Structure formats: C-alpha cells, structure tokens
Amino acid sequence: MKIKKEVTIYDLAKELNYSPSTISRALNNHKSISKKTIKLIKEAAEEMGYRPNNLAAGLRNNKSNTIGVLISRINRPFMASLISGIEETARKAGYNVLISQSNDKYENEISNCNTLYDSRITGLIVSLSMETVEMEHFQKFVDKGIPIVFVDRVPDNFNSYKVVIDNYTAGYSATKHLIEQGCKRIAHFAGAQHRNVYRERKKGYLDALREHGLPIEDNLMVNFKTLSFEEGNKATKKLLKSANPPDGIFSANDTAAVSAIMCAKKMGVEVPEQLAVIGFNDDPIASIVQPSLSTVSHPASKMGAISAKRILDHSINTYDTGVSEVTVLGTEIIARDSSLKRTKVLESE
Amino acid sequence: MKIKKEVTIYDLAKELNYSPSTISRALNNHKSISKKTIKLIKEAAEEMGYRPNNLAAGLRNNKSNTIGVLISRINRPFMASLISGIEETARKAGYNVLISQSNDKYENEISNCNTLYDSRITGLIVSLSMETVEMEHFQKFVDKGIPIVFVDRVPDNFNSYKVVIDNYTAGYSATKHLIEQGCKRIAHFAGAQHRNVYRERKKGYLDALREHGLPIEDNLMVNFKTLSFEEGNKATKKLLKSANPPDGIFSANDTAAVSAIMCAKKMGVEVPEQLAVIGFNDDPIASIVQPSLSTVSHPASKMGAISAKRILDHSINTYDTGVSEVTVLGTEIIARDSSLKRTKVLESE
DNA sequence: TTAATTTACGCAATCGATTCCGTTAACTAT
DNA sequence: ATAGTTAACGGAATCGATTGCGTAAATTAA
C-alpha cells in the first residue's frame, strides 16, 4: 500500500517562503513572530495536514511530555481510578501517559523503570510492588532531575514526592468505629508488613485497641500475603471456629472483608450482630455485598490528579534532593450495614 | 541541583576508540561486528551507565515502539483487564503502552487520536466512545500505514483489524438460558443501539424469543443510555410495577443487572423464583451480589493480548486497505443463582 | 535628522541513534 | 601469486523540531 509522506515544518517553510525557524516559532506562539504571520502559518499548517513530530521535539528538548506510571496491577479498582485521575490531569496539560505494571514483582519493576527512563519521561508516578525493598533503580531519575511521585505504597527510605492517605488515622478510626458499635474482640486482617500502608493501618488498629482498653491478641491478628478472597475465607473460617472467636474484623482491604462476610453467613454467624466487619478501599463490591460492607474510602482518582500535578508543577530549581514533599489526604469511614450493631438501619429510598 | 550528563553512544565511541556506527551496531547485535567487540562494547555500556535514547531512535526510524490505547474509561473492570492484557503482551515485546480515555466523548476521542498520532505510535488500539459515529479521525493512521485494532466497541463502516466477541450468540444464549429456566416473559435492558455490541446482543435476544415462540413486546425492551445502576433501578421498578411484569431480565451489562436484583429484592420480588436475571461481563460484583448473578463472561485480558499481537505482527506489506481482519472470541454463560429457577443450587464448599 | 530600539525574521548548530556507502585488512580459491 | 571474498569497521548524512545569535528594516526617541 501507498504510504503518505509526512508534512514537516520544512515543507511548510518551502510552501510559505519562510524559514523553518519562523514556522516553528509561529506554531509555538513565539512573541517575536507577528500575529499576522502566526495566523497565516497556522492556517496553512492546518490545511496541509501538518502534525508535529513529538519525537523530534522531544529529542531536541530532551524530554517527551510524557508521564510514566509504574504500578502493580491495572485491573484493581483503586489502581484503575488512580490512573484515570492521572490521565485526565496529564492530558489537559498536553501530556501523554505511559503505563506499566509490575505484577508485584521486583524484577519487573526494575525493568519497567529502565524502559520508562529510556523513553525520557518527564516524570514518574510509582506505587511500589509488594516485593520491592531496594530502591536503587529509581536513583537514575533523581540524578537526572526527573521528578518521582510515590503514591499509596511509598518507600520509607527514599526522599521524593509522596502522595498518601493517612493510613494510621484510617486504621484507628475504622477500629474505633467497631469499638463504638460495641465490639469487644476485634480481629485484624493485615497486609504485608513491609509495606508501610499496611503497617500504618495495623498501628492505628493497635492504638485504638489500647486506648479503649481492649485486648491485643496475636491470634486475632492475621498476616496476609495478598489479602485475596481465598486467604480471607480461610482466615475467617479459622477465626470463627476458634475457642474464643472475635466479634469484629477490621480488614486491610475490601476483598478480604467481603470474603469474611460471605464466609460468616455461610457458617451461620450473623453479620453484623455476631460479627461486625469493616474493610478498606470502598471497592464497588462493598456496596453490593449483603449486608453492605462498611469501609474506608480513598480519594483514588484525586490522588492520581495530585500526583500528576506534582510532576507538571515540578520545577528543576525547586527540587532539592534530600527533601520529601508529602501530600497526605484524608479518608472517610463509610458506615454501612456490616458494622452497625446497635441501630437497625433503614434501607434508603 | 546538579544534573548528571547523559551517556550517549558518542561517549562510548570516544571512550573505546570506536566509531558511533560501530557502537550502535554492536548494541543491536549487528552481524558485521565481531563477537569480541560486541561483548566489549556492551560491557562498557553497562558499566558507564549507558541507556538508549528512545526518542532519538524513534525519530530516526520514524516510529516509537509504542502502542497507543484509546478507550472510553479506564476504571471499568472490562477496560482495566483489557489494558492489562495489552500491556503485558506489549512489554514482553519491548513496547510501551500509551493510554488515553475519551470518557465517551467524541470530541475527546478526536483530540486523543491526534495526540497519539503526534507521538508516532506503532499502532493504535481503540474501543469507540459511546458518541462516535464519524470515523475520519482515524484515516490519517491508515494513510500512514499505522495499524488500528478496534476492540469490543467496533465500527461498522471502517475496514481494519477488529477483535470482538460474538455478541449475537452471547445474547441468544443468555436469553435461551432464561427460557430454559422456564421464563415466559423476558425483558431486555439494551445498551445504546448505535453501538454494534448492544445491537447484536439485542438481536440475539429477539431471535431467541422468536425461535421459542415467546412474545416480543416493546414495553419489555428498555433502551438504556449508559446502563448505569440508577438507570437499572428505575427501569426495574417500572417493569415490576407494570400490569404484566416480566419473569426474567437479560441485561446488557452487570451493573444494571445487579441493580435489578437489588431493586427486586427491595420490592419483595423473589430472585430467581419470580424474576430470573442474567447480566453481561462477569464483573466482580456479579459473584458478590446475592443471589449471585448469572452472566456472560468476556475474555477481556485475552482480547487485549490479541489486539496487541495484531499490532506487533502487523507487516506493512500484508496490510491491505479495504479488508477487515476480524477475530471473534467466544463467550461463556456463567450460570449462578440469579437465574436458576428449577434446581436449587447447593452452595459450593 | 540621526542614533537607539524594537520588530520580525533567517542561519546553522544541536539533540542521539541509525544506516547507506565505502574502505582496509585478512583470508580463500585457483 | 593474484584476483576475488569476506570480515570488521568508519564517515557522514539523516530524521524533524528547537534556539542562540545575528541582521535588516521599521519605529521611536532625542
């Protein structure tokens, strides 16, 4: 098949009897080009079907107007919303978004990091993989003055921009919510403890118990690997069959929380009467399960938007190695049926 | 802060006393460079921290090893899985993935199209926006020999690669499934009829009714705009309050189907006994709602993988304008509790 | 009226990798 | 031993946009 030739600024220059410099400047609204000329050139460009070559511009400027995103998995409600927020903000500013998923593997994270670097991204937004501990693969970005924004699953030992929620307070509030509902023995489904988000949530849980004089028992705290449905199911069954079962569960995510509800129901344990449950994330399934799941809501899309803005606003001058600029967003306890022990809630509508 | 200088093939050339040509060829395993030299150069490159500049290579080759993705919204389970499949396949082949969402607006689709074009993507994967009718904004890709793969929401009037599921058969089977369960008056929640996916599902529904001698009634077919939860709620209420309510609903997506289940329960209509429901997509909520939602499952991630492969395998020589290469994938009826009228299903496990 | 600006543009180098042509030296065949 | 190959590499143009520097003409200031 026949391939149409690309129209370049040189073609425009020849056609309009201007130099390529003038064409370039006109298209970028440079002030030293007269209004008339700009109008003329832009109209001709439009008519001739000119389209800028981002690769050429990027090469010259050594950046690509592209934001790189490095996350664990796309098909999780939180991540999808995060990306959605990033994409919207980036595109409004004329930026592209490159995505890559690590599938929670350290190795993939490194390799994706390199690929993104090779593409001369303007900035990088990262949510760490489950496995990641070492952080050297991010150093080259710092060395080059390329901003990195860590979101949600952030490192402890690396100075950079960070956008997080207040996991400690969220964990504290969720637990306190259960206590206020009358729970006396509250279990916790904890995520991998080397990831600060899960560690903070657990801290909040522990402090809430302490401050309210409730027992802290090792066998009420289950350390999950992935907080999957299956893991949740197994853990719930074990807890409920134990000699002294809990009357409340604070799960570090909704998936495991939902599995707890379903498992309890199957075992004839009433939720919330005998077992109150609160999750984390406010995934779509939370409002669908019955009884509907109380949870902690994230402003996921907003976190994405803020992260993107961090990159866009980043000026090389204000970037000082050794300083972390952390944005902490608030969360909200969504009290649904799965935790409301005292009052029977009327169905809305 | 101090910015580290980039290491280029020229730096390597100077350091190793080779020409840039040789460095370039060595890094690409060109056959006319000796094994020894290749090894030497690669090791030096590694040690000096050389990283290729994709922009420069892209400019020279006039392509960027990047696949562009243009969809309506990322934060939908189907779309997220689709992208996930694309990303995995692309990355394995050393390609990057650029994403952009139209939010179902025609205008955004055009503008995103242009931005992706300007980035010299190797190929484009598209799921059309709800609004899109005209297709000229894709023409420039065809003119340039850049392959386009339409996925799921594909056009009727544009020749290109297409990856779809057999919506007609799926619609037919879903309806037939309800009929086999004893339904006599089956309603249909239909999506926007100018999008072929929804049109096909409806066709399948109609043919199934016809072939089984069931009544086709206009007031049993609801045309939705977005198949949202709210729309589904409203439609269900209206249907169930009508003089002659349906005993089955085939919804073109799960969201509306779930809303139907919840609405029915609230109104005291038993599911599936009085109202059987089957949805479409097999979203996570489908297995969480109670009774669990029967549905039609998509191989979303696989569709993404196939689409990406189409781009990767595309050779300019084999691309013939005027021909559509369509890949049709099968679907599967997932029979859960919401549609099983006859037999009471034992809870698994 | 003349010097000092300002306006509006052109020249040419530059970004980094690729690749079409060579070229030299070593090697093989007859 | 000489022509013919092959192996291994170098020179330099090229991709398209950007930009520091330079300049001629037009305008303003004194």
Domains plus CATH for chain A? 9-52 (1.10.260), 65-165+300-329 (3.40.50.2300), 167-297+333-339 (3.40.50.2300)
What is the per-residue pLDDT for A348?
40
Which of helix, strand or coil describes residue B39? helix
Structure-derived torsion over alpha carbons of residues B123, B125, B130, B136, reported in degrees to the nearest 10: 20
Confidence of residue B302 (pLDDT cuts 50, 70, 90): very high
Confidence of residue A99 (pLDDT cuts 50, 70, 90): very high
What is the per-residue pLDDT for B347?
40
Could you tell me if B96 and B90 are in contact, meaning their C-beta atoms sit under 8 angstroms apart?
yes
Which residue's entry shows tokens 């969809």?
B71
Q: Which of residues 281-320 of A touch strand C (CB under 7 A)?
A: none
Q: Find and give the residue nearest to D16, measured CA to C1'.
A: A56
- Tell me the pLDDT of chain A averaged across its residues: 93
What is the per-residue pLDDT for B51?
96
What is the per-residue pLDDT for B345?
42
Strand ranges across the sheet with B276-278: B221-223, B186-190, B248-251, B276-278
Is the pLDDT confidence value at B174 over 70? yes
**Strand C atom within 7 Å of B267 CB:** no
Mean of pLDDT values over B107-133: 96
Confidence of residue A316 (pLDDT cuts 50, 70, 90): low
Which residue's entry shows tokens 């000329």?
A37
What is the per-residue pLDDT for B319?
57
Instruction: Report the percentage of chain B scoring pLDDT > 70.
Output: 95
pLDDT in tens, B227-254: 999 999 999 999 999 999 999 999 999 9
Contact between A1 and B319 using a beta-carbon 8 Å cutoff: yes
Confidence of residue A347 (pLDDT cuts 50, 70, 90): very low
pLDDT in tens, A48-68: 999 999 999 999 999 899 999
pLDDT in tens, B42-98: 999 999 999 999 999 999 999 899 999 999 999 999 999 999 999 999 999 999 999
What is the per-residue pLDDT for A322?
63
Of A51, A100, A316, the CB nearest to B91: A100
Q: Find and give the residue nearest to D10, measured CA to C1'.
A: B19
What is the per-residue pLDDT for B4?
77
Mean of pLDDT values over B15-39: 94
Top-confidence residue, B324 or A199: A199
Q: Is B289 on the interface with A (CB under 8 A)?
A: yes
Which of helix, strand or coil describes residue B180? helix
What are the Cα distances from residue B188, in Å, to A228, A237, B72, B208?
Answer: 34, 40, 24, 12
- Tell me the pLDDT of chain B averaged across its residues: 93
D strand bases under 7 Å from protein CB: 7-20
| A75, A254, A259, A338, best to mutate vs chain B, most B CBs in 10 Å | A75
Could you tell me if A187 and A246 are in contact, meaning their C-beta atoms sit under 8 angstroms apart?
yes
Contact between B51 and A118 using a beta-carbon 8 Å cutoff: yes
Q: Is B92 on the interface with A (CB under 8 A)?
A: no
What is the per-residue pLDDT for A71?
98
Using a CB-CB distance cutoff of 8 angstroms, which residues of chain B are in contact with residue A323?
Answer: none
